[in-house]
Structure 1
Amino acid sequence: MISLSTITALLCANSVVLASAIPKGGKRALERILDSSLMLSDSSIVESIVATLEDASNSNDTCGSCINRLAIGKSLALVRPDLIPESFENWCVKTAYASNETCNTNFARNTIHSGTTGSNFADMLQLMDPFGYDGTLYCHYKEVRLCPKPVTPNITLSHLWPPKQPRHFVAPEPSANDTFNVLHISDFHVELDYKVGAEANCSRSMCCSPHSVNRIKKESEGSYRGVWNSFYEGSYYDDRNMSYVKGKYVDIFQNSSIWAPATTFGNYQCDSPEVLINSSLNSISEYSNANNVDFEFAIFTGDLVDHDETRYTDYRLTVESEEIVLRDLKSRLKSIPVYTVLGNHDNYPYGELGQEGYGFSNKFTWNAELLADIYEDYNWLDAPTARYARKHYTGFAVDTKMGLKVISLNSNCFYRRNHYAYWNATNPDSFGQWEFLINELVQSEALDQRVWIIAHIPPATDGLPLPSKIFTEIIERFSPYTIAGVFFGHTHYDQFNLLYAGNGSHTIENVVNFAWISQSVAPFIGNNPSWRYYKIDKKTFSVMNGFNFYTKLNETYNNDGNEPIWEFEYSSREGYNISWPAESPLNGSYWHLVAEKVRDDLSYRQLYENYSKRWTPAVPNCSVVGNCLTDYCTLSNFNLDDFEACVAEVHQ
């Protein structure tokens, strides 16, 4: 039992604004909570808050309703954050604001057994300004555009770097055919409960797990009997010699309720069984040995954990997924250093990460400590660098043996699904990550050292506007002299993002830099598993070429459980038939020419889509009206605001 006199003052601060938006019945409910003479039980407080939220939402003004709910929630969160999850979940279910499952996912209290995000929502409410930029930003991106997109604050961090000197506007010239190789892999998404014979044509989310179902009752025998035959349960690769061991055949057609049974090495509607991940890693080792291609180091741009629904994802699964995949990487790549980043799935709960110094980071330090320990144990990072990663969201900067600096960033800091990114959102660097990046770049520029930046999420894909603006400014300031490469994952597609000078004109003269976006090993959704490596100039660390490899996953459906066949797909220099000097790196100017071809020529647009999804049956036909419309927007924009403006123009 508590007195709500303390809540009174907090709610009164918002009462003037609320009063104009809440209907009469809602005002009475709010007055009940504001009555400081009441001594209410927790259940009574929750009941009153639910009624107030319900009335605050009873308006055609979706934006105002969303903001008022945040204000009510903030007032409660400041004194009883523990009641936020129950209050908002009950309101969500009672008003059918979303499905019961979505209400639970978004608002229920999270535990080690449940990755629901209500506790993180409560944390956010305590610190955010509902009536300012924070609230409008949240209601636009997190609540499916209930508010119009707010204007991105005109804020910069340029005071943290020195003026750009004339020589810094020119990239150094590469050496004469003196190169080394770097491996790039991304988005494994191990599905630890992948089950051969499980439903691969399920009604929700990721399929091929024991709980996958198709909600439409199957009335007749499926069309896969006699066509698909790769149903070998328990297949694996022996860690001692990397040899493939085929498992036991399962007669999956005895289960007449399955529409499409999951086969041994995966399905386009599923994440990666571990046997597929190890097949990809073995293909890398085999190619390296057969072709005398040594890798100086590897970069992994995030996402170890699968896409399963929140109710099937817990703390144990997250830890186990991270440990297993990193172990597999180490066992196959041996002494090759692997520089990694965290993906949005590599957190628990999904996508969440709290800033250091504001009372919530202790919820997430376990992950940084776990991963930094692994990086150090595997000799991927030395002790001082691992120590930094433990305290800074697993981010780090490392000088490779060749002299290149690799800077690893945690892109969950600017991920739009991260609740903690919505409080004090006008602060351009609440995580301190940009200052870290700038300091490293300033230091390298002074030493004439070239730098690679690796992160998971491209800012134009799933970022937020202000962090995207700051990131763009940093890349522009230190390109092309210092930044030799930027590398992302996340989309699962083979893509790139161009960055043009600030005036926004997409001309070859205005190209500043670009980012590689690596294809995924995971087939979800509709992609062939793939990996690539780069040929790197030893002097400038610029990419001279990229070589892409893939396997046709659908050909493993009927190969009697045998190993996938990994094939060379294309080289980045020759794949688009662009005339380009052999001695020049594949820089932003090269990819500008590719992007123009994709924009102007249907055959190039189709070729890009083929490469993007690696020739799967799911590749769209770009000659069909409405398909492939935003491809050029994706390729030609690094900044989120620019990308969204481009897409809006396409759809006008």
Structure 2
Amino acid sequence: MVALMQLFSVSVAVTAASAASSLSFGPSTFTAPGAFPTSLYKSYYNDPTATSAQPQPVISDPVTHEIYPYSLTNPKKIPQSDPKDPHILPPKASESLLLQNAVNQVTSLGSNPVFANNTCARCQASLEVAKFLSLAAPSQGPEFVIFLCNEFKLSSTCNITYGPLALGSVITQVLANADVGGYDGLMLCQNFLSSSCSLPPTSPLNLTGWFAKPKPNPLPPPKTPSGERAKVLHLSDFHIDPRYATGAEANCTSGLCCRSNNFNAHSPNSSVLPAPRYGSYLCDTPFSLAAAALESIPVLAGTNGTGFAWTVFTGDLVAHDAEQQLSRDYIMYTETLLYDLFKRMLGGGPVYAALGNHDSYNQAQDATHSLGGELAEQFSWNYDHVASLWEHEGWISQSAVALARAHYAAYAVQRTDGLRIITLNTDLWYRANWFNYVNLSQIDTSGMLRFLTDELQDAEDHGERAWIVGHVLSGWDGTNALLNPTDHFYQIVDRFSPHVIANIFWGHTHEDQLSIFYSNNATNISAETALATSWIGPSITPLTNLNSGFRVYEVDTATFDIVDAHTWRSEVNSFPELDSQVQFGPTYAYEYSTRDVYGTNITWGANDPLNATWWHLVTEQMEANPDLVTTFNELQGKQSVLTPPCTGACIAAKICYMRSGSSSISVQNCARGFGSVQ
């Protein structure tokens, strides 16, 4: 407690800006009040002043006008499925008793010596059986998916995870529509069912006719910096957990911890680590931490009363609930709750948000319009809802709302200052989205990349610069996104950089990371060929083994280049000591200036941007001085006490990941296994 009081007393005396900054920031540290700000809401389902449980506010949806019931978020009684949600099956071709025959056929494949020692071939043959059943008897599809789950030992909870009220209906749709005997089937097996399948190479690109115009040669002259800077907030991966149970097991052995229904198998009758009021390393963000973070951000950034010029939110509002605990209402509740808090607690300035893979139900699933009919529109409820919320908060115009509803919640905004913000729904290249495995060999089945290209072409025609905002990163270690679409995205970045694309922003990993894009698909990696940078934002959630953090950029108001980036963090391992008192909440402290930490040995003007060239020079410094990679590794986890060291092969791998803007480049060039500090 003495240490907390000392920290609080000095926090108002230190400024958190780098020497080169022309902006004034707030104190270097801020300790949030220990008492929950009960004035945030008019009414609660429980006593919001109690420290033994998280506040449960009564949330009214301004779009649907629904008041969400306490049963939706009651931490003591977590639902195991929501039967009112539709779980769509593909239209049937015919119906008969085919399930048992399909089961027998797959079982026979397992005993056939041709397939017994080749699980990849057995997987592909099994998918052929599954496709036939999905077309002829779709109502039997989920049951067969459960059988496949058990047969291939995919999960210990097959009945729950792949049942008709979870992913069973989704997979039945995919099997009915996919080319399971070709590229789709091979990728389905490789990604979900059988690691023995080799990852197919990236498909050859044919860009004929893709771009309306060739890249200008010479490029238009770069815009002249204004010398004036704007503060822009980058928030990512909030993952608020309205079912967080204070005092529950924070060190559980499976599932999301700090939940009343999850325990430590070695101590089932008592908590090994009772869940602290403000969160823990294996848990998502409790309401108390959410409020503390949003109270801290304006103070630390020095924007009290003025707000940010704008904010980018790179996705994932919703907690990491098991599939069967999710529902449409749960997704919409979280969207309503957090967008409202962003509006009311961050001050003025629009928030430009992208959907994360957890901001959907089923989780990570988004169907492409190419499926046609009812299947094509099955996620429109979510696109309509978030678009209406963004309009309600006054962040985007009616024209952008129309784009979001038509383009999987992706939209573009032409700001009056000359910047175009383009958001993407990156579930459409995420490996965990089953719908991506239908017509996967096509360049752009969803149309998302065509939408992006058209917006960038229009920005080029109007002399605008652009920011691209999404969730699932296109590159880094190659484990998150599919090869073909991110390879194509890389070519789009090459075509429109550096004169149009100023910066790219991702989230998803919860970690502080970065990727550089080079010309000609990175066949020549150098400072001269570096084109664009993607910033991967740190998460608010501590999951997994990370500190909580956020970032503020200093942005030139004419070029929209980033001149410096400032990151703050909160030490999650200090949270347990806050439970015994109500005076002090979490402390968010200034972590580092990007320019100051990485630019010491680089000749660079004080007002020159932290662009792709600068970042490539940083990677050259890392090659010469591995200690700089050690620093990067520590900052990647927001200096969590649980971050493992990066030594040996990890050093070269981190540099390689930084130079990989697409999954295909990373898979081809980089050693695997060093991408995360979790």
Q: TM-score range by the shorter chain?
A: 0.7 to 0.9
Within a 5 Å distance, the mapping from 1:528-567 to structure 2 comes to 528-559=547-578, 560-561=581-582, 562-567=584-589
> 214, 236, 240: which is aligned to 1:163?
214
> 259, 268, 276: which is aligned to 1:209?
259
1:330 aligns with: 343
**Gaps spanning 5+ residues in structure 1: where?**
1-39, 111-115, 219-255
Question: Using a 3 Å threshold, how does the CA distance of structure 1 residues 469 and 289 change in structure 2: closer, same or farther?
Answer: closer
User: Displacement of 1:48 after TM fit?
Assistant: 1.5
Question: Using a 3 Å threshold, how does the CA distance of structure 1 residues 86 and 557 change in structure 2: closer, same or farther?
Answer: same
> 100, 109, 117: which is aligned to 1:56?
109
Larger mean CA deviation between 364-373 and 286-295 belongs to 286-295
2:122 aligns with: 65
Does the 8 Å contact 1:176/1:583 carry over to 2? no
2:605 aligns with: 581
User: Displacement of 1:291 after TM fit?
Assistant: 7.7
How much is the aligned-residue C-alpha RMSD, in angstroms? 2.1
Within a 5 Å distance, the mapping from 1:31-430 to structure 2 comes to 44-58=97-111, 59-93=116-150, 95=151, 97-102=153-158, 104-105=160-161, 107-110=162-165, 116-161=166-211, 162-168=213-219, 172-217=222-267, 257-289=270-302, 294-358=307-371, 359=373, 360-430=375-445
Counterparts of 1:449 and 1:589, CA distance in 2:
21
2:591 aligns with: 569
User: Displacement of 1:578 after TM fit?
Assistant: 4.0
Match of 1:515, SS state, is strand
Counterparts of 1:649 and 1:207, CA distance in 2:
28
| One-letter amino acid of the structure 2 residue matched with residue 48 of structure 1 | N
Match of 1:536, SS state, is strand
Task: Give CA deviations for 1:437-496 in whole Å, capped at 9, x if unaligned.
Answer: 111111111111101000001122411011011100000100000101111011111110
Task: Give CA deviations for 1:423-447 in whole Å, capped at 9, x if unaligned.
Answer: 1111111111111111111111111
Match of 2:445, SS state, is coil
User: Displacement of 1:166 after TM fit?
Assistant: 1.5
Task: Give CA deviations for 1:494-551 in whole Å, capped at 9, x if unaligned.
Answer: 1101112225232212212120100000100011111111111111111111111111
Does the 8 Å contact 2:305/2:347 carry over to 1? no
Question: Using a 3 Å threshold, how does the CA distance of structure 1 residues 374 and 291 change in structure 2: closer, same or farther?
Answer: closer
Match of 1:88, SS state, is helix
Structure showing greater radius of gyration is: 1
Percent identity between the aligned chains?
Answer: 29
Task: Give CA deviations for 1:330-353 in whole Å, capped at 9, x if unaligned.
Answer: 111243210000000111001100
Does the 8 Å contact 2:95/2:136 carry over to 1? no
Does the 8 Å contact 1:453/1:487 carry over to 2? yes
Question: Using a 3 Å threshold, how does the CA distance of structure 1 residues 98 and 160 change in structure 2: closer, same or farther?
Answer: closer
Task: Give CA deviations for 1:275-298 in whole Å, capped at 9, x if unaligned.
Answer: 212211111122344788751111
1:521 aligns with 2:534: no
| One-letter amino acid of the structure 1 residue matched with residue 562 of structure 2 | V
Does the 8 Å contact 2:555/2:562 carry over to 1? yes
Match of 1:532, SS state, is strand
Counterparts of 2:303 and 2:481, CA distance in 1:
41
Counterparts of 2:565 and 2:351, CA distance in 1:
18
Match of 1:610, SS state, is helix
1:593 aligns with: 617
| One-letter amino acid of the structure 2 residue matched with residue 189 of structure 1 | H
| One-letter amino acid of the structure 2 residue matched with residue 642 of structure 1 | I
> 454, 460, 476: which is aligned to 2:494?
476
User: Displacement of 1:318 after TM fit?
Assistant: 1.7
Counterparts of 1:586 and 1:135, CA distance in 2:
43
Match of 2:645, SS state, is coil
| One-letter amino acid of the structure 1 residue matched with residue 431 of structure 2 | R
Task: Give CA deviations for 1:276-333 in whole Å, capped at 9, x if unaligned.
Answer: 1221111112234478875111110000011122232233322212211111111112
Does the 8 Å contact 1:536/1:544 carry over to 2? yes
Does the 8 Å contact 1:620/1:628 carry over to 2? no
| One-letter amino acid of the structure 2 residue matched with residue 531 of structure 1 | F
User: Displacement of 1:399 after TM fit?
Assistant: 1.3
Question: Using a 3 Å threshold, how does the CA distance of structure 1 residues 206 and 536 change in structure 2: closer, same or farther?
Answer: same
Does the 8 Å contact 1:198/1:209 carry over to 2? yes
User: Displacement of 1:146 after TM fit?
Assistant: 3.2
Match of 1:492, SS state, is coil
Match of 1:57, SS state, is helix
Question: Using a 3 Å threshold, how does the CA distance of structure 1 residues 515 and 65 change in structure 2: closer, same or farther?
Answer: same
**Gaps spanning 5+ residues in structure 2: where?**
1-93
Counterparts of 1:131 and 1:336, CA distance in 2:
51
User: Displacement of 1:176 after TM fit?
Assistant: 4.7
TM-score by length of 1: 0.83
Match of 2:309, SS state, is strand
User: Displacement of 1:629 after TM fit?
Assistant: 6.0
Question: Using a 3 Å threshold, how does the CA distance of structure 1 residues 134 and 90 change in structure 2: closer, same or farther?
Answer: closer
Counterparts of 1:483 and 1:157, CA distance in 2:
19
TM-score by length of 2: 0.80
Counterparts of 2:622 and 2:284, CA distance in 1:
29
Number of matched pairs:
565
Question: Using a 3 Å threshold, how does the CA distance of structure 1 residues 41 and 303 change in structure 2: closer, same or farther?
Answer: closer
Counterparts of 1:386 and 1:41, CA distance in 2:
41
1:610 aligns with: 634
